Structure 1
Amino acid sequence: MKKFLRIAAGAAALTACGLAGAQSAGTWSARIGATHLSPDVSSGNLSAPSFPNTKVDAKSDTQLTGGLTYMVTDNFALDVPLGLPFKNDLVGDGALAGVGKLGSTKVLAATVFAQYRFNAANAAFRPYVGLGVTYAWFFDEKTTATLNGLSGGTQANPTTAKLDNKFGITPQIGFVYNLNDRWFIDAAYYKSFLKSTIHLSTGQSIKVKFNPDVFAIGIGYRF
């Protein structure tokens, strides 16, 4: 019995040592999971000629994502989310509410977070706060027959759209829960303050604050 207790105590000590180094300075980790992006849109009005109060809204999307994290110290980390581009449908709002889909755009948001992680490096549960800089690259914009009908476009000469790429600030909160010394769960919420201008080939434009709410969860491995 004493021998068993000594073995158990030794195993517990080794586990504790492993967890102690799990989130300490100099460690790297990678994760994979999913992210849901829900735009919180504030739209300006389409420039003339247009109906008064012509606005747009954007729909949500969920994609496969992941990320890399480097612990600079036991409490400070640099984190880079990675993943597939999001696709957001653009729909009518304001005077155009109810007309349906006007177009779509894909966006690849590159963000670098500086994070502060609470609790000791050997803690199983570590909440964190972060602040990041995001560069949103909009591409593969498409328009619909509905937009053509509203803007005077034709099948031979359809109305096209282009969005400006922009930088934005992204605050973040989240937590890491260690399953053992290597595997962990990471969950986070962040708000990207992103705005852009949609330019139509007709010469009209509309300023849009997308300001998406972002929810991310993943399972990770620490090296």
Structure 2
Amino acid sequence: MTQQFLRAGCVLALAAACGAAQAQQAGTFSVRAGFTRIMPQTKSGDLSEPSFPHTHVDVGADTALTGGINYMLTDHWALDLPVGLPFQHSFYGDGAIAGVGKLGQTKVVPATLFAQYRFGEAQAALRPYLGLGVTYSKFFKNRSTAALTAVTGGSPANPTTAHIDNKWGFTAQVGFVWNFSERWFLDVAYYKSFLKTTAHLSSGQSIGMRLNPNVVAVGVGYRF
């Protein structure tokens, strides 16, 4: 009886591997859905005058529902386009104004197109990959708080607002795909984006920021 179970297990494992082989060849198209967390590693410059010396900002993390579209150009090379809802990041006082709290918030859509290289044979169920992509970050729906108005010398009748420059950057990626059936798979990835931008205030001041976020993305996908 034990030998029969072992034989059955081997047959199932072989069938799963064969199914995975069919699912990972050149010309395969897939979609996925899950979530992504963006964690900025902020280093800001000084707020331009008039301001206290060493007036900096920090940027909080956010998680959003995301997904992606992937196309296998060959058995190893793929194009990957993450998609999803906008991320919302809050800005906080740092440096000389570390105690003032939240200064504002913004929404951002980081649009990235990756070229990926997947290791291992096409029939492998588990395939690590490396990716490199170009990212365009669009900031919109900027909101400011009374704390920002106070820091910049404004008034309730004339509150300070902010505009953030949209910027290009690049993103490196490492991850893996686990094909747990012929069609379904799990995709887990870590990104490192390199991004600099500048916030311009209605008071005439500005502040440069190097965001360089760490990003973690997890998704469950279906391969056609």
Query: CA distance change for structure 1 residues 101 and 12 in 2, over 3 Å: closer, same or farther?
Result: closer
How far apart in 1 are the matches of 2:136 and 2:80? 15
Question: Identical aligned pairs, as a percentage?
Answer: 60
Q: Residues 17 and 125 of structure 2 are in contact (CA less than 8 Å); yes or no, is this contact kept in structure 1? A: no
Matching of residues 35-46 of structure 1 within 5 Å: 35-46=36-47
Q: CA deviation at 1:155?
A: 2.2
- 1:165 maps to what in 2? 166
- 1:3 maps to what in 2? none
Would you identify which runs of 4 or more consecutive aligned residues in structure 1 move more than 6 Å? Answer: 6-13
Q: What one-letter code is carried by the residue in structure 2 that aligns with 1:20?
A: A
Question: Match of 1:192, SS?
Answer: strand
Does residue 1:195 correspond to 2:209, yes or no? no
Which shows bigger deviation, 110-119 or 148-157? 148-157
Q: Residues 21 and 125 of structure 2 are in contact (CA less than 8 Å); yes or no, is this contact kept in structure 1? A: no
Query: CA distance change for structure 1 residues 34 and 9 in 2, over 3 Å: closer, same or farther?
Result: closer
Q: CA deviation at 1:18?
A: 2.5
Query: Scaled by the length of structure 1, what TM-score is found?
Result: 0.94
- 1:84 maps to what in 2? 85
Question: Match of 2:155, SS?
Answer: coil
- 2:28 maps to what in 1? 27
How far apart in 1 are the matches of 2:20 and 2:207? 52
Q: Deviations over 1:80-130 (max 9, x none)?
A: 000111100000011011210001111000000000000111101100000
- 1:174 maps to what in 2? 175
Q: Deviations over 1:165-201 (max 9, x none)?
A: 0000100000001111100000000011011000000
How far apart in 2 are the matches of 1:93 and 1:222? 46
- 1:72 maps to what in 2? 73
How far apart in 2 are the matches of 1:12 and 1:82? 33
Question: Match of 2:194, SS?
Answer: coil
- 2:61 maps to what in 1? 60
- 1:132 maps to what in 2? 133
The runs of 5 or more residues in structure 2 that have no matched partner are 1-6
Query: CA distance change for structure 1 residues 7 and 210 in 2, over 3 Å: closer, same or farther?
Result: closer
Does residue 1:151 correspond to 2:152, yes or no? yes
How far apart in 1 are the matches of 2:59 and 2:39? 8
Query: CA distance change for structure 1 residues 48 and 72 in 2, over 3 Å: closer, same or farther?
Result: same
Matching of residues 98-117 of structure 1 within 5 Å: 98-117=99-118
Q: What one-letter code is carried by the residue in structure 2 that aligns with 1:141?
A: N
The runs of 5 or more residues in structure 1 that have no matched partner are 1-5
How far apart in 2 are the matches of 1:88 and 1:185? 27
Q: What one-letter code is carried by the residue in structure 2 that aligns with 1:54?
A: T
